[in-house]
Each structure stands twice: as C-alpha cells, then as structure tokens.
Structure 1
Amino acid sequence: MEHPCHLEGHIVQSIFLIASNAAAILPAYWALRQKAFAEWVLFTCSGISSGLYHACDVGTWCALSFGVLQFMDFWLSFMAVVSTFVYLTTINEVHKRAIHTTVAIFTALLAITKATRSSNIILVMAIGVLGLLVGWLIEISTKFRRFSFSSEALLNMVNRWKDIRVWVLNLVKTLKKRFRWGFMTAGFIALVMAGVSWKLETTESYWIWHSLWHVTIYTSSFFFLCSKATVADGEDERLPERNYELARQDSFSGGH
C-alpha cells in the first residue's frame, strides 16, 4: 500500500503540472483582444492539450492515447513559440502562411521523433528567431522595391554612404516605433528562464521545473505579443521613404 505522504506528494505534483498550463490564458487572451484569431486558437489548444497530456502522464485520466497526447503537447508548444516570433513581423498574410506551413511540417517532425530531447527547445527558439528575421527581410526587400532609382542616382548612392546611413537610421526609428521595448525585454527574460527550466529538468525535479516551464514560456509569449505596438497604416513606411527621398535629392544635388 502506498504511503499517504507519497500519495499526497503525487497529487501536489500532478496539480502543479496540470494547473500551470493555465498560464496559456495570458497570450490567448491578448491574441483574442488583438483579433489575432490564429494565434488565439493555437495558444488555447496548446494549453488544453498540455493539461490533458500531463493528466494522462500522471495517471489521472487519458482523453486519448498517451502517444497522441504527447505529440499534440510538444507540437503545439513548438508551434506556439515560433508563431509568437512570426506574429511580430508585419509581412502580408501570404508570406505568413508560407512560413507557418513550413514551420508546422518541421516542428511536427521534431515532435514525433524524440520530442523530449533538451536540444529541441533551443532549435525551436532558433527557428522562431529565424522566422522573425525572414519576415523582416521580406518586408525590407518589399519596401526597397518601392524606391525609384535612376542609374545616376544609384551611382551617386554607391559613391556616397550618406544615403545608406540615413536609411539605417530610419530603420532604427521604425523598429523603435513598432515595438514596446519594455515588454520585449521582459519577453526575452522570461524566454531565457523557460530555457533554463527545460534544461534543469531531472526525474526527481521534473514536476517543479516543467511547471515553471509552462508558466515562463506562456508568459514570454504574452510579453512578446504585448510588445508589438499599434502603428497607423503606412505610418512607418511613409516617413522612411520621404526622408530617404530627401536625403537622396540632397546627395544628388550636392554632386553637381
């Protein structure tokens, strides 16, 4: 017969592992408030599937087979991490769908093949950052195509780095306007804490660190979602373009 203290400890651990998934309410609520319905569905399903998986894992109740629940837990968690970074971009929905589809396939492969590897979370975070960078590159390349360059003006720009410096400064200004950097910093801190929690998991302390992983990873997503500032349509595009044109004209006139 199991000792009462052991039974009580098991119940406490089970409650922590299951209830800590309630942290998914934070990013899900914010996504719904911003009418980001895809992200809302993703965070909601991620929290629910994780709770169901851990309920089955501790022997409480299995809604589906253990393998299915484990796959859904890890896959949706991976997708939630990456989708948070993709959300921070302002590229159009066509490009976002392409990135999400690619990420969905790759993270599904990660989740189905040794999902519990500690290296997976580092890889998933790297994929998320890569998705953000790809989104920014697509956005920057799109804006570049809007500029009209004459061959003489282009040659003048190559000879003078002033135009490039102005463009970089405008890019920095745009990034400052686009994000609330206090929330962004808090998001990265919570993300680092999540990574540390994942890395410190052992058989004995699994329930503590994995519960903390749930709280910190969902909290980091919440902070990242909050960090995206609301910018008026075209506001962050007109200013850089206008300043760029003025700088180009000034540089061009200075060459005569």
Structure 2
Amino acid sequence: MMALLEVERLSVSFARRNGPPIEAVQDVSFALEAGGRLGIVGESGSGKSQTAMAIMGLLPSNSQVAGTARYDGRDLLKLDRRALNTLRGERIAIVFQDPMTSLNPFLTIERQLTEPLQVHRGLSRRAAYRRAIEALERVHIPGAARRIGMYPHEFSGGMRQRVTIAMALMTEPRILIADEPTTALDVTVQAQIVDLLRTLTHDTGMALMLITHDMGVVAGLCDDVMVMHGGRSVEQADVERLFAAPTHPHTISLMNARSYLRRPSVESIQEGTR
C-alpha cells in the first residue's frame, strides 16, 4: 500500500541566545499508510511532539527544520503559509492533550463547530448546525442537540476531548494527529477515548498518528509503532511483533511502565457524560 504521509530524515532544532541550538529531533524517518494507525511513543522530551508539530507547521519561530514530509507527493515543509493553512484542518487535523488548547472558553460549542463551515465552506447556518450535531453524535456526546449550546466549562474533561475530536472531524480529514489525547484523563475515560478513535478510524478510513508515552494505549489502538528516545527513532515495527520481541532497552523500559486500559462500564460512561 502506498504511503499517505512519508517523512524522511526529519530534524528539528531550536536556536538559543546563548549556547548551541537544542537538537530536538534527529534524522527521523517513517511512513503512514492510508487508513493506517501509527503510534509514535516516547518519554517526555523524546521529540515525539516536535515531530508532529514540524509536520503541521506549528513550531515556534526559533525552530529550524530539515528533511521532507510528503503528503500526497507534496512536501509539507516547503509549502507557504497559505497553502499549509488550507491543507491543515482540511486534510490533516490535530487533537491536543489539553482540549482547552483548541476550545475557546468564551464561545459556545455550536459557534466553534459551525463558524468554520460557514466561513470556509460556505454552508448556511442551518446546514452547518446539522453537520455539527452529526459530528457530536458521532463522538457519542449524549443529548447533542441540547448540549451544543453549552460552553466548554460545562463539559467534563472526557467530554471536552470528544468535542475536540468532533471539531477535527468536521472537515473529514484523511489524517488525524492525536497528541497525547488521553494523558490528562482517568483510566476509564482513557479507554473510552481509545475505543472512540479505533471506531472512527475503522468507519471513516482516516489514518491516525498517535503521539503518546503510554505503550498500553499503543497496544489498544495502533497497527504500527515507532519508539523515540533522545530525539531519534530507536525502534520501528508492527505492534504485534514489537510487543512479542522488543529489541531496544528503551522500548523494554516503556513496555514495563505501560498502563492497562480497562473497558468502560455502562455506569462509567454515564458518569463521564455529566
């Protein structure tokens, strides 16, 4: 199968006023197939999030990026800001660890979901509203028609994360980058979000790039995995093979520290909707 996203020899550094630049990512290569689910796993400071931010063009101004990141044959690292903004959100969407990174606390969920469709897609208010309700229902927000008029603070942490996933899906992207989407959630809600992402990728054919420190989440969701340590890729394999026979000491360390997600009960799902 042809790669939808192909990253070759990606390096990221950050300039400092005093001293040499910080080498955050060094010579990293990987591929994401259409409909594939790739986990990029590593501890804090391993370079995994900087890898995703480089692909999305979201690094700060003191960064320097080298290498290539080809999406449908186009090098994302060489696109101008306008072309990248068009592609970002339309074809490649991102969900952050903290939902409030994406949600405006002063606007209703309805406005945050519908306004981009009205402005950028030319949809009428009614059509955009219908799409927004459908998106919330797809991510299992109960009482979507009632709750769409609420503000972010009126949702639990797990429900806010579902809302940000709904926002990412509004434009039907081909790739979803999820940067630590379960880290701030308790284990039961983590399992709900993992189940949701698994279902969405299966039903839509959307590819997933999951950024995480947790091998347990990777085991529950991904097909392939790349382990990062010190800014480098130290091991890549399909999930089944890597879990059966890890070769790098850091991979083994991460596996020993992994969490075990449990399937949510009906009671816990109801609790999480409050």
TM-score tier after normalising by the smaller chain length: under 0.3
The structure with more helix, counted as a fraction of residues = 1
The structure with more strand, counted as a fraction of residues = 2
**How high is the TM-score relative to the length of structure 2?**
0.24
**How high is the TM-score relative to the length of structure 1?**
0.25
